[in-house]
Every structure is written in structure tokens, then in C-alpha cells.
């Protein structure tokens, strides 16, 4: 907090805001005078950050009024990507966009309009509400890579996803492909405290991370081999008698089938696949199964395995059930949706989308779990069990790479327009060259953004969006939590920025949806959502001032009273929901998408194993590269290489190197470290260079060091359950950049 400002001066108001630079959504106190934020600090009364803010959270004021922000609606006047813009009034922009969307709907059908989002940043229920009434099923996010498939697989097996961990009473925490030391600092802080009280921590990660350094056990597995490890843990827990016999007998279905099925997956079988020893596998399975109660934290790595992702989630989910670590004190909790407030799903108006339009959702024919076929089934079961369904926005999406492909090929039909909000697909979606081709080709594109990103630069309209200090926020885990953490706006939006909510509402108001948008401001909508809580606040702002949080009373062992939200009412180790959708009811083994055992020829040309991405400080995906206070901490992209491998390849620390897969090559700077095994290569994600020209062909150097040039969205590499694509466990080669080819990727 700035020391030079007297915060005791008259007329200063303290607003309860939050940081939205990562999912921790730390509480922020904003000191406001005359409509300006003078200073911010972490809110000591906020339950997660307890007053702390990280280096990213601390630059909120630089972000708020950065000279590179987009502050006015922009309309393209030159050729696409030429970088020529005209500043126009909001009303004109919205009239023109609405007219264009109406014309597309008339000529090609509503499904020809798609929307792209990123990770949860804004009021996405409003986007879904608009799209449902507009009539298109083609909403998507790259949340396929981020928790959503896990949520749906786990909900299929035990009726909800146990993402809320009762860590206080836990004795063992498994961090499976998660590194809170760099990705979720408040959580890491909490874990460190609990470790002093005896919590054991197992880290499953190919890298010796900030978190692995503090663990009781670190399993440096081959990237992409998580399914083999999970199956071997299931094998050990069943065949060495470590399971909770009472829970399994009383509350689970399919134990016999599972026991037979996993007999083959011994630690000895998994050892060469995972590069771990059978002893490491046994020891870790014992530690989790015998240190009860225990937790398995969600980590994003498994969502990004591609082909084996769904089965890996399934096998990991079984571990909780076999050990009885579900819904008991200290375990992973099945809270169900909020019973006390209006949920995101209830705001989405999903019933307004006609069945005939649902059937047109792109990807629903192949990837059934998080499209209408699977979502419809799971939502029905959830409504029966909990009275409410999970959010459709996120859990029921068009398959993103297939939408980009439809733009390029016209198959299964032509997508004509893309509305982009809170994402930069060029850098965050898979196989960036293909994504970029689609963005260059789509007939009509509108982007709602803070910055002129490579994606925004290719748009027809770029609309200026208000950030966390300029809008209220409800934090509730993609609309699926039972609790609410609420924040208020510190100030009204600066310049001509608006909320995403207002974008969707204003569009709806112009397209015959007036009756469906009674809430003029986002606060009005939030007030409607929180009114049933019964606090009696006159407005949303007053609710935040007086109460701010809502934590319902928790009931352990709910299943003893109401069963599980599955067709049989039990935990379905043998999943009838997956089977009904045409998927294996028990997790079947598949190797990493590209690997040396299944494809030795490929491994001759690409002998190293690549994993693309992990969160690193100070950046968040492809955000914040403009902010010099953050760029100062990390100026250039880095790729982790073991020193022995580097020596063989003639690479020295800090050399620029090419990393190449079958899809293309990028360059990053070698960071030599013993923290990865000799065959493992770890690239950083997100990188582009806002300091360069944002016009074609440079587009901020968005392919040059962008790790998603290397990833694969090929159908054969995608998870058949969910369609999530392959970022982790690919084959690559690495070589030094020499002067002659230093400039461009190929
Ligand atoms: N290879 C590889 N790829 C990955 C990952 C990986 O580990 N490896 N991780 C994946 C994961 S976990 C995720 S969640 C995705 C993230 O992917 P995205 O969410 O697409 O992340 P960004 O690329 O940072 O794009 C977010 C954009 O939204 C803008 N923005 C931020 N807040 C708002 C807002 O409130 N409204 C609007 N309109 N715009 C806003 C930011 O300025 C930024 O340009 O990337 C995935 N991609
Ligand atoms: N600094 C920072 N923090 C962030 C973000 C960010 O971009 N930057 N993004 C936010 C978002 S949207 C998300 S989803 C979370 C994600 O946060 P996490 O769940 O922690 O995910 P990552 O940091 O992507 O990767 C976690 C670990 O997986 C390891 N890993 C790589 N490949 C494999 C594999 O094949 N198997 C296993 N078991 N592990 C593997 C990586 O080495 C890494 O240490 O972070 C959030 N926080
Ligand atoms: S951890 Fe940092 S970036 Fe994330 S919400 Fe908290 S302060 Fe913001
Ligand atoms: Mo994410």
C-alpha cells in the first residue's frame, strides 16, 4: 500500500473489492475518494488471503489505468489485422453488432454464431442466457483444459464433484499435478500451516516444484503417465487390502468388477510407464490409504492429458471412494450446489434453448460428457438429487477445436461469427497455428477485452471492459459451490468501459430479449440472486457492506441420509452414467498421446518428453505481459532442461533454443535445472510480446514463443469423454537457435 497517501483524510471510503488476477480472488480493501481509487491493500477479514496480496495482486492500480488499456469501443476500419481503428460510441457498436448477428441468424441459423471464453473471470451465466435466447448451442471456453472434465467425471461417479476439501482435519493431502506454491499462494500458505500440525503431503509432478520441495513424498512421474499411476494405486489399495470395506460394501456398486479389472495394473506394470519404481508407487498408495482422513486436491495437469484424461480422472476419483474419503470430516466434501441462493444455472435460462438447437452443438456427436448428451443426463440426475443442476456454461460446451475447425472447413457447418469475451485463444487454446487461422478466417468477430491482444487485433470490434475494481463479483467456483464470497465495485468503470454483463444484456435488449433482462445493472442481478439468503439487505452493495460472505452449515455423511446423486443412489465404481453415454464403465488404460513405447519411430525423431505449461509467477496465462513492474521480474520465456541433456545438445544456460513437435516449433530461453529428469522438457505457457507491433503479420509475436504451437488437438489425441486436448506428455526435440534462423518460428 502506498505510504505517501493519508488514508485517514476526510471523504475516503473503504470499499470491499477483490482481486481477479487468479482464481484465489483475494479480498481487497480499496480506498476511494471522488470516484478514484487512491490505494489498495489485502483485506485482513477475507478468509483466504487474510490480508495478503501477491506481487500480481499488488499492481491492480497499474492495471486499472495502464496506458495500453482499451478504453473506448473500437471498430476496424482497415483490413482485418491491419491495426487501423475508429473510436465509436457504444450505442453505435451495439446496434451494428446486433444487426450483423440478426442477419447471420436469418441466413445461416443461430448456430452459426459461437462464443469463446477462457477461465472463469466474469459473469458467464449472462453469456449463456443471451445465447440460449438467441438460439445457439455453440458456447465454449478452454475450460476443457481446466477442471470441467474432472467435475463431470466425478459427478457421474458420485453425484457431485468433491472440490471442497475439509483440510483442517485431514492427515494426508495428495497434490496431483498441482503446484499451489506458484499457482494458488493463499492455499499454499494454508497447507504450510497444516504441515506444522502433522499433515502429510504427497506431490505427483514431473518437476521439483516449490510445492514438491516441501512435500513428504515427491513422485516425479513421466509427464502424461498419470493414468498408469492412478490405476496402480487402485490396484494396491484393493489387492493389498487397504480399502474401507464397510464404505465399499454399504455405499459402492461394482467393487467386484473393479477388483477384477485392475488386477493387471500392478506397480510392476506401471513402473516402466511412469518412470517410478514399484516401491515408490506402493509407498505413496499406502501413505494416502492409511493416513486417514485424507484428500486428493484437483490439479490441472490431468485435465490436459488428452486421450487418457477421462480415464485418469475416473481412476483418481475411485481412490476417494475406495478409501471412504468422501464427505466425512477431514475428507473431500460433496456439498452440492447452493441451496440458499439463485445459482448460475438458474440464471442461464437453459430451457429456452430448443431441443433441435441443442442437437446442433458442435462436438456433441463425439465428445458426449460435457456437451448436451452428457450434461443433459447429469443435470437431470442432479436436479432429482439436489434439486438443482450444475452450471451449463462450462459443463455443457461446444468442442472448441472443432469450432475453430468448422470456421476453417465449413464442417459440420459454417460458423460465421465469434463473440470473444475474457480469453485470448491464440495463446491459450491448443495448436495455435490452427486457432490463428480460424480467427483470421471467421467472417465476423467481436472481442470484449482490457487490452489489444493478438486475438483482439484480428477482430471487427473491440469493446473496453471494466476490471475487478470497477465491477462487483460473486466468487462461487464456476457457480457450483454452496457458499458465496461477495465483493463490491470500488468505483464506476473508468473511461467508456463496461461490464461483460452489460455487453450481453445490451445485445439481448436489441434482439427481442427485453423481458428476460429485468436487471439494469449487474448489482441488480446479484441482488436478485442473494435475496433468498434472507439477510434482508436493501441492495447488493449493502449486503457486501454488512455481511459479504455466506457459508451454509455443513452436514457430513449426507449420503447416509440421501444417498449419492447417481442412478443407483450409490457411488458407482462401475459407472452406469458413463456406460449409458457409450464410454467404458471402468477406467481402461491408454498411454500418453505420444510416447516412446507405442511409437518408437516417432521417438527417434522426437526423443524428449514435453509438458507445456504450469502456472508461474508473476504472470497469469497470457495476461500481464504489458505491465513493466511484472515484466521486470520475468522478462523472457524459459524452458526447463536437465543439465545433462543440455550438455549433450550443446546448450548452455540462457541460450535461446527451439522446441519442436510435429505441429511446429517455438523458441524459449534454456533454464538448466536438476528439477526435471534428463528426458523431460517443460515450456512456459502464455507468452507474447505486447511491446511489438500488434498489426499483421507480427501480431505481438504471438506464435514465436507460444507453447500452444506445440500442443495437439487432433481428434485421436483428444479425450473421448470430454474432448479435452493434449498439453502434457508429448514428444519433442530441442536444439539451439543459431543466428540464421533466430527471427521467426516455422
Ligand atoms: N499449453 C497450455 N495451455 C493452457 C494451459 C496450460 O497449462 N498449458 N492452461 C490452460 C488453463 S488452466 C486455462 S484456465 C486457460 C486460460 O486461458 P484464458 O482464460 O483464455 O487466458 P488468457 O490467455 O490469459 O486470456 C484471458 C484474457 O481475458 C482478458 N480478461 C481478463 N479478465 C476479463 C474480464 O473480466 N472480462 C473480459 N472481457 N476480459 C477479461 C485478459 O486481458 C486476457 O487477455 O489456458 C489453458 N491453456
Ligand atoms: N502464477 C499463476 N497462477 C495461476 C495461473 C497462472 O497462469 N499463473 N493460472 C490459474 C489457473 S486458470 C489454474 S487452472 C491454476 C492451475 O494450477 P495448477 O493446478 O497448480 O496447475 P499448473 O501450474 O498448470 O501445473 C501444476 C503442475 O503440474 C505439473 N505437470 C506437468 N505435466 C504433468 C503431468 O503430466 N502429470 C502431472 N501429475 N503433473 C504434471 C507441472 O510441473 C506443475 O508443477 O492456476 C491458477 N493460478
Ligand atoms: S493470489 Fe495474487 S493474483 Fe491471485 S487473487 Fe490473490 S493477490 Fe490476486
Ligand atoms: Mo485454468
Number of H helices, E strands in the chain: 27, 27
Do 266 and 385 share a domain, yes or no?
A: no
- 147: nearest Cα among 131, 169, 130, 163: 163
Do 324 and 364 share a domain, yes or no?
A: no
Give the CA distances from residue 572 to residues 148, 365, 567, 579, in Å, rounded to whole numbers and listed in that order.
20, 25, 9, 11
Do 117 and 220 share a domain, yes or no?
A: no
Residue 185 CB–ligand 3 contact under 6 Å: yes
Give the CA distances from residue 469 to residues 35, 123, 410, 494, 535, in Å, rounded to whole numbers and listed in that order.
11, 15, 41, 10, 25
| Section 689-707 average pLDDT | 97
Residue 223 CB–ligand 2 contact under 6 Å: yes
Locate the ligand 2 atom nearest the alpha carbon of residue 207 and give its number: 42
CA distance 27 to 291: 33
Whether 592 maps to a domain, the answer reads no
Q: How far is the CA of 366 from the centre of ligand 1 (A)?
A: 25
Do 412 and 378 share a domain, yes or no?
A: yes
SS3 100: helix
SS3 732: strand
CA distance 127 to 115: 8
Mean pLDDT of the chain: 96
CA distance 509 to 514: 5
Do 54 and 198 share a domain, yes or no?
A: no
Enter the C-alpha cell of residue 71: 478504453
Strand segments (E) across 55-95: 74-76, 85-87
Last residue of a domain, one of 27, 42, 64: 64
Q: What pLDDT does residue 12 have?
A: 95
Do 139 and 258 share a domain, yes or no?
A: no
For atom 26 of ligand 1, the residue with the nearest CA is: 423
pLDDT in tens, 183-238: 999 999 999 999 999 999 999 999 999 999 999 999 999 999 999 999 999 999 99
For atom 42 of ligand 2, the residue with the nearest CA is: 207
| Section 17-33 average pLDDT | 96
For atom 42 of ligand 1, the residue with the nearest CA is: 450
Considering the chain, what percentage of its residues have pLDDT values greater than 90? Answer: 95
Q: What pLDDT does residue 746 have?
A: 40
Residue 623 CB–ligand 1 contact under 6 Å: yes
Q: How far is the CA of 294 from the centre of ligand 3 (A)?
A: 27
Whether 156 maps to a domain, the answer reads no
Whether 171 maps to a domain, the answer reads yes
Do 193 and 108 share a domain, yes or no?
A: no
pLDDT of residue 745 exceeding 80, the answer is: no
SS3 115: strand
CA distance 315 to 319: 7
Whether 588 maps to a domain, the answer reads no
Do 409 and 289 share a domain, yes or no?
A: no
pLDDT of residue 2 exceeding 60, the answer is: no
In DSSP notation, 394-419 reads HHS---HHHHHHHHHH--SS---EEE
For atom 7 of ligand 1, the residue with the nearest CA is: 613
Locate the ligand 1 atom nearest the alpha carbon of residue 143 and give its number: 14
CATH of the domain at 59: 3.30.200.210
Q: Which ligand is nearest to the CA of 54?
A: 3
If you ran DSSP here, which 8-state letter would residue 198 be given? T
Task: Please count the residues of the chain.
Answer: 746
Q: Which ligand is nearest to the CA of 25?
A: 3
Evaluated on CA atoms 622, 627, 628, 632, the torsion sign reads negative
Range of the domain at 418: 74-144+339-550
CA distance 375 to 394: 10
Give the CA distances from residue 480 to residues 151, 343, 352, 472, 575, in Å, rounded to whole numbers and listed in that order.
10, 8, 21, 19, 22
pLDDT of residue 11 exceeding 60, the answer is: yes
Q: Locate cell 550438455: which residue?
A: 647
Q: For every residue of 132-154, which 3-state class applies, written as one string?
A: HHHCCCCEEEHHHHCCHHHHHHH
Q: Locate cell 446486433: which residue?
A: 98
Q: Which residues are within 8 A (CB) of 323 and not within 5 positions of it... i.e. 6 or more apart? A: 237, 242, 243, 244, 288, 289, 292, 294
pLDDT of residue 9 exceeding 90, the answer is: no
Number of domains in the chain: 4
CA distance 442 to 106: 18
CATH of the domain at 311: 3.40.228.10
Neighbours of 634 (CB within 10 A): 16
pLDDT in tens, 385-430: 999 999 999 999 999 999 999 999 999 999 999 999 999 999 999 9
CA distance 232 to 705: 37
Q: How far is the CA of 725 from the centre of ligand 4 (A)?
A: 14
Cis omega (within 30 of 0) for bond into 177: no
Locate the ligand 2 atom nearest the alpha carbon of residue 225 and give its number: 35
pLDDT in tens, 435-465: 999 999 999 999 999 999 999 999 999 999 9
Angle between helices 226-239 and 278-290 (to 10 degrees): 60
- 316: nearest Cα among 232, 414, 256: 232
Do 182 and 208 share a domain, yes or no?
A: yes
Whether 746 maps to a domain, the answer reads no
For atom 12 of ligand 1, the residue with the nearest CA is: 146
Q: How far is the CA of 26 from the centre of ligand 3 (A)?
A: 6
pTM flag (> 0.95): yes
Whether 214 maps to a domain, the answer reads yes
Whether 594 maps to a domain, the answer reads no
pLDDT of residue 467 exceeding 90, the answer is: yes
CA diameter of the chain: 73
Q: Which ligand is nearest to the CA of 274?
A: 2
At residue 6 the predicted structure's pLDDT band, cuts being 50, 70 and 90, is confident
Do 679 and 576 share a domain, yes or no?
A: no
- 63: nearest Cα among 465, 447, 420: 465
pLDDT of residue 741 exceeding 90, the answer is: no
CA distance 56 to 61: 11
Residue 450 CB–ligand 1 contact under 6 Å: yes
pLDDT in tens, 540-592: 999 999 999 999 999 999 999 999 999 999 999 999 999 999 999 999 999 99
Evaluated on CA atoms 355, 359, 361, 367, the torsion sign reads positive
CA distance 303 to 613: 12
Enter the C-alpha cell of residue 623: 495476461
Considering the chain, what percentage of its residues have pLDDT values greater than 70? Answer: 99
Q: Locate cell 498408469: which residue?
A: 228
Residue 18 CB–ligand 3 contact under 6 Å: no
pLDDT in tens, 319-347: 999 999 999 999 999 999 999 999 999 99
Residue 165 CB–ligand 3 contact under 6 Å: no
pLDDT in tens, 111-154: 999 999 999 888 999 999 999 999 999 999 998 999 999 999 99
- Helix (H) or strand (E) segment spanning residue 29: strand 27-33
Strand segments (E) across 429-480: 444-449, 461-464, 473-475
260 by Cβ neighbours in 10 Å (0-12 / 13-18 / 19+) ranks as exposed
Locate the ligand 2 atom nearest the alpha carbon of residue 299 and give its number: 19
Give the CA distances from residue 302 to residues 177, 408, 715, 726, in Å, rounded to whole numbers and listed in that order.
7, 29, 18, 10
CATH of the domain at 728: 2.40.40.20
Do 98 and 186 share a domain, yes or no?
A: no
pLDDT of residue 739 exceeding 80, the answer is: no
- 598: nearest Cα among 708, 716, 733, 711: 716
Whether 589 maps to a domain, the answer reads no
Enter the C-alpha cell of residue 10: 476526510
- 270: nearest Cα among 225, 209, 312: 225
Do 640 and 732 share a domain, yes or no?
A: yes
147 pairs with which residues across the strands? none
CA distance 227 to 217: 19
Strand segments (E) across 479-555: 484-487, 549-550
Nearest 5°: CA angle at 719, between 713 and 722?
Answer: 100
What radius of gyration, in Å, describes the C-alpha atoms of the chain?
25
Amino acid at each position: 500500500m502506498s505510504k505517501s497517501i493519508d488514508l485517514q483524510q476526510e471523504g475516503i471510503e473503504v470499499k470491499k473489492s477483490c482481486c481477479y488476477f487468479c482464481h484465489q480472488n483475494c479480498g481487497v480493501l480499496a480506498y476511494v475518494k471522488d470516484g478514484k481509487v487512491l490505494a489498495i491493500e489485502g483485506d485482513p477479514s477475507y478468509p483466504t488471503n487474510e490480508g495478503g496480496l501477491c506481487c500480481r495482486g499488488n499492481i491492480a492500480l497499474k492495471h486499472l489505468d495502464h496506458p495500453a488499456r482499451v478504453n473506448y469501443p473500437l471498430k476496424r476500419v482497415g483490413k482485418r489485422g491491419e491495426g487501423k481503428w475508429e473510436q465509436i460510441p457504444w450505442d453505435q457498436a451495439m446496434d451494428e453488432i446486433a444487426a450483423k448477428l440478426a442477419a447471420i441468424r436469418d441466413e445461416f441459423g443461430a448456430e452459426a454464431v459461437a462464443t469463446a471464453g477462457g477461465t472463469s473471470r466474469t459473469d458467464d451465466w449472462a453469456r449463456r442466457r443471451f445465447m440460449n435466447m438467441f438460439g445457439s448451442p455453440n458456447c465454449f471456453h478452454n475450460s476443457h483444459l481446466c477442471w470441467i472434465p474432472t467435475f463431470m467425471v466425478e459427478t457421474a461417479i458420485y453425484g457431485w464433484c468433491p472440490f471442497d476439501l475439509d483440510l483442517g482435519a485431514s492427515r494426508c493431502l495428495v497434490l496431483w499435478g498441482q503446484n499451489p506454491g506458484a499457482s494458488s499462494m493463499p492455499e499454499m500458505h494454508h497447507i504450510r500451516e497444516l504441515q506444522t500440525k502433522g499433515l502429510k503431503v504427497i506431490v505427483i509432478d514431473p518437476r521439483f516444484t516449490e510445492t514438491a520441495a516441501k512435500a513428504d513424498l515427491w513422485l516425479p512421474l513421466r509427464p502424461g503417465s498419470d493414468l498408469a499411476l492412478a490405476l496402480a494405486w487402485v490396484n494396491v489399495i484393493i489387492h493389498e487390502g487397504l480399502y474401507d470395506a464397510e464404505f465399499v460394501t454399504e455405499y459402492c456398486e461394482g467393487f467386484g468388477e473393479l477388483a477384477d479389472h485392475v488386477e493387471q495394473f500392478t506397480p510392476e506394470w506401471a513402473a516402466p510407464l511412469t518412470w517410478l519404481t514399484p516401491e515408490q508407487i506402493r509407498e505413496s498408495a499406502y501413505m494416502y490409504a492409511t493416513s486417514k482422513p485424507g484428500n486428493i486436491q484437483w490439479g490441472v495437469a490431468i485435465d490436459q492429458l488428452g486421450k487418457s484424461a477421462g480415464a485418469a480422472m475416473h481412476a483418481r476419483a475411485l481412490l476417494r471412494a475406495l478409501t471412504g474419503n468422501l464427505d466425512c470430516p477431514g475428507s473431500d466434501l460433496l456439498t452440492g450446489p447452493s441451496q440458499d441462493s439463485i445459482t448460475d444455472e438458474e440464471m442461464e435460462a437453459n430451457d429456452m434453448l430448443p431441443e433441435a438447437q441443442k442437437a446442433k452443438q458442435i462436438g456433441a456427436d463425439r465428445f458426449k460428457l460435457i456437451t448436451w448428451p452428457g450434461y443433459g443426463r447429469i443435470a437431470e440426475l442432479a436436479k432429482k438429487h439436489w434439486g438443482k443442476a450444475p452450471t451449463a456454461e462450462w459443463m455443457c460446451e461446444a468442442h472448441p477445436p472443432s469450432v475453430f475447425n468448422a470456421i476453417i472447413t465449413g464442417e459440420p457447418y459454417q460458423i460465421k461469427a465469434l463473440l470473444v469475451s475474457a480469453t485470448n485463444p491464440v495463446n491459450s487454446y491448443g495448436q495455435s497455428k490452427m486457432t490463428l487461422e480460424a480467427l483470421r478466417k471467421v467472417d465476423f468477430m467481436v472481442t470484449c477485452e482490457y487490452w489489444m491482444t493478438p486475438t483482439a487485433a484480428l477482430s471487427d470490434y473491440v469493446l473496453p471492459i471494466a476490471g475487478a475494481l470497477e465491477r462487483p463479483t460473486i466468487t462461487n467456483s464456476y457457480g457450483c459451490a454452496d457458499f458465496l464470497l461477495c465483493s463490491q465495485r470500488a468505483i464506476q468503470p473508468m473511461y467508456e468501459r463496461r461490464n461483460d454483463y452489460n455487453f450481453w444484456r445490451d445485445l439481448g435488449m436489441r434482439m427481442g430479449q427485453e423481458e428476460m433482462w429485468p436487471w439494469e445493472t449487474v448489482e441488480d442481478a446479484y441482488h436478485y440472486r442473494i435475496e433468498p439468503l434472507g439477510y434482508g439487505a436493501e441492495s447488493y452493495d449493502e449486503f457486501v457492506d454488512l455481511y459479504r460472505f455466506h457459508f451454509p452449515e455443513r452436514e457430513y455423511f449426507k449420503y447416509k441420509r440421501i444417498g449419492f446423486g447417481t442412478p443407483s443412489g450409490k457411488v458407482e465404481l462401475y459407472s452406469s452414467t458413463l456406460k449409458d453415454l457409450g464410454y467404458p464403465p471402468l477406467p481402461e488404460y491408454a498411454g500418453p498421446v505420444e510416447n516412446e513405447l507405442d511409437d518408437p519411430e516417432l521417438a527417434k525423431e522426437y526423443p524428449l518428453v514435453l509438458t507445456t505449461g504450469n502456472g508461474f509467477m508473476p504472470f497469469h496465462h497470457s495476461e500481464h505481459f504489458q505491465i513493466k513492474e511484472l515484466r521486470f521480474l520475468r522478462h523472457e520465456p524459459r524452458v526447463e532442461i536437465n543439465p545433462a541433456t543440455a550438455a549433450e545438445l550443446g546448450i548452455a544456460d540462457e541460450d535461446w533454443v527451439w522446441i519442436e513437435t510435429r505441429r511446429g516449433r517455438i523458441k524459449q530461453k534454456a533454464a538448466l535445472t536438476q528439477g526435471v529428469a534428463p528426458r523431460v522438457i517443460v515450456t512456459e505457457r502464455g507468452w507474447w510480446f505486447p511491446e511489438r507491433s500488434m498489426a499483421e503479420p507480427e501480431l505481438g509475436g504471438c506464435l514465436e514463443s507460444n507453447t500452444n504451437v506445440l500442443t495437439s488437438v487432433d481428434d485421436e489425441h483428444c479425450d473421448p469423454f470430454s474432448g479435452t486436448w493434449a498439453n502434457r506428455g508429448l514428444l519433442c526435440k530441442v536444439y539451439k537457435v543459431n543466428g540464421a534462423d533466430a527471427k521467426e518460428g516455422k
